Amino acid sequence: MQHPVQDYLSSLVDRLRAERGGELATYIPVLAEADPEKLGVAMATVTGRVHCAGDADTEFTIQSVSKPFAYAAALVDRGAETVDDAVGLNPSGEAFNELSLEEQSKRPDNAMINAGALAVHQLLVGPFAGRQERIDRVVGLMSLLAGRRLTVDRATYESEMGASDRNLALAHMLRSHGILHDRAEDVVAGYVAQCSVLVTVRDLAVMGACLASGGVHPLTGERVLPSLFCRQVLSVMSTAGMYEAAGQWMAHVGIPAKSGVSGAVLGALPGQAGIAVFSPPLDAAGNSVRGVLAFERMSEDLNLHVM
């Protein structure tokens, strides 16, 4: 007999397959070639049970879902004071690639938007780290949390590097305010590599469970992150992880979450589970249409809203 959660996820995928709507991201050329029919769901509990349904073994690039993990790594490497000096803790209410800077401090509003993620990426390892060291650090942490060695997809990396005007503009602007110090090209290249890491929904669910558990790996019992930093990451995911739709998301779904332009949505339910959905077509805010629907249904059916 199958586990009831497994049965639930399978029926959820069956119901969601009929849902239409949304557009593939096209500003990164390779993402426009994604199969819009792919749909996978996974849930990993903090006690180490993993349930998957649909296209759970399909690999896709992590994109912005890497941002909470890079943020966690920067907090570990540099401490909260240094990180908070460079990146704020408030929602921007704007699109993910806007230059949202705080009025007074000129810091990016938060670590979930591109401006904040570029600032976070530069903080990785230490003040004198090079491009490859920072990439190795963030890929290394994500691999530790996923429980397998993750790799950068060269084709996606090259495709996005060829279409990086917006991120380069953000990086140059951050340099002009003294938030970035390295060459704009180096920080953008490292950040794009971070976004080009290949994962499955199973990987993401397990990675999310590491945040949900307060930093204890659900499969090994090993402490992988300090609980205080997990709390900070989940807090910023709650207020800014779904960009300009973050408030609506919290009201309707009520799970700290992060979306990515490849079509992934990762939720981390404190004390309970990591949950991931992958379906490439996106809504106007850049969030997966079927990903949002899946979370709305799971939240209601399984009573997952944190409030």
Catalytic residue among 46, 67, 159, 262: 67
- Least Å distance, CB 51 to ligand DON, is 25
Say whether 67 is catalytic: yes
Examine the residue annotation and report whether 138 is marked as an active-site residue of this protein: no
- Residue nearer to ligand DON on the CB measure, 113 or 224: 113
Tell me the binding residues for substrate. 64, 114, 160, 167, 191, 243, 261
Which listed residue (191, 201, 259, 262) is catalytic?
191
Whole-number minimum distance, CB 37 to ligand DON, in Å? Answer: 20
Nearest to 265 by CA among 68, 90, 118: 68
Q: How far is the CB of 219 from ligand DON (least distance, A)?
A: 26
The answer to whether the CB of 264 falls within 8 A of the CB of 280 is no
Q: What span, in angstroms and rounded, lies between the C-alpha atoms of 221 and 218?
A: 6
Helix (H) or strand (E) holding 237: helix 227-240
In order of 52, 58, 71, 180, 185, the CA distances from 117 in angstroms are: 29, 26, 8, 11, 15
Closest contact distance (angstroms) between CB of 95 and ligand DON is: 9
To the query of whether residue 157 is one of the catalytic residues in this protein, the response is: no
Q: Which residue is nearest to ligand DON (CB)?
A: 64
Q: Letter for the amino acid at 183?
A: R
Task: Give every CB contact of residue 21 below 8 A, 6+ residues apart in sequence.
Answer: 281, 283, 289
Does residue 191 have an active-site annotation? yes
Which residue's CB is nearer to ligand DON, number 168 or number 304?
Answer: 168
Q: Among all chains, which residue has been given the structure tokens 């530790």?
A: 144
User: Least distance from C-beta 198 to ligand DON, angstroms?
Assistant: 14
Catalytic residue among 243, 253, 258, 299: 243
**Would strands 60-61 and 40-45 be described as parallel, antiparallel, or unpaired?**
unpaired
Q: Please, which residue, 160 or 203, has the CB nearer to ligand DON? A: 160
Taking CA 4 as the corner, what is the angle to CA 290 and CA 299, rounded to the nearest 5 degrees?
40
Cβ proximity to ligand DON, 27 vs 130, nearer residue: 27
| Calpha distance 97→89 (Å, rounded) | 17
Question: Catalytic residue at 261?
Answer: yes
- Integer Cα distance of 100 and 36 in angstroms: 31
Annotated binding site: 64, 114, 160, 167, 191, 243, 261
Q: 3 vs 154, which CB is nearer to ligand DON?
A: 154
Sequence-ordered alpha helix ranges (H) in 124-217: 131-146, 154-161, 165-176, 184-195, 201-212
Q: Which of 64, 238, 262, 288 is labelled catalytic?
A: 64
Interface with ligand DON by CB under 6 A: which residues?
Answer: 63-64, 96-97, 114, 160, 167, 195, 259-261, 286
Residue closest to 153 by CA, chosen among 255, 34, 237? 34
Residues acting as catalytic residues: 64, 67, 191, 243, 261
